[in-house]
Amino acid sequence: DAGVIQSPRHEVTEMGQEVTLRCKPISGHDYLFWYRQTMMRGLELLIYFNNNVPIDDSGMPEDRFSAKMPNASFSTLKIQPSEPRDSAVYFCASSTRDNSPLHFGNGTRLTVT
């Protein structure tokens, strides 16, 4: 089991550019989550999917953020246009049924200059 795989590990971009973060969940997991971690705000849930369907996107900061899950093995989080305040570590996590542990990827560290 390779675990949750995120790419890239690091992303440095300039303000105004489009950024796409990628996630491959663990095979067989029904839930997929996108979290953002910053020193100021801690861990924030952005959006989560169940069986590829977005269930709750109330944590998505604004329209510049969008997430998709076209199939059970792939999800993307896109920021367009990016801003310096989007700099953070973005984590993807997956899990099986309700109340089962979340398995986190190692994150993507995004820096927007």
Which residue of 31, 34, 46, 88 would you call a contact of another protein, by CB under 8 A?
31
The two tokens of residue 12 are 């440095």
The reply to whether 13 sits near another protein by the rule CB under 8 A is: no
Query: DSSP string spanning 49-72?
Result: EETTEEEE-TT--STTEEEEEEET
Which residue of 11, 48, 75, 77 would you call a contact of another protein, by CB under 8 A?
48
Question: CA 19 to CA 31: how far, in whole Å?
Answer: 23
Which residue of 97, 110, 112, 113 would you call a contact of another protein, by CB under 8 A?
97
The two tokens of residue 39 are 């020193």
The reply to whether 4 sits near another protein by the rule CB under 8 A is: yes
Closest CB to another protein among residues 29, 79? 29
22 Cβ contact partners less than 8 Å away, ≥ 6 residues apart: 6, 7, 8, 74, 75, 76
Which residue of 42, 53, 63, 70 would you call a contact of another protein, by CB under 8 A?
42
Question: CA 69 to CA 40: how far, in whole Å?
Answer: 28
Which residue of 8, 18, 27, 55 would you call a contact of another protein, by CB under 8 A?
55
Query: Which residues lie near another protein (CB under 8 A)?
Result: 4, 31, 33, 42-43, 45, 48, 50, 55-56, 91, 93, 95, 97-107
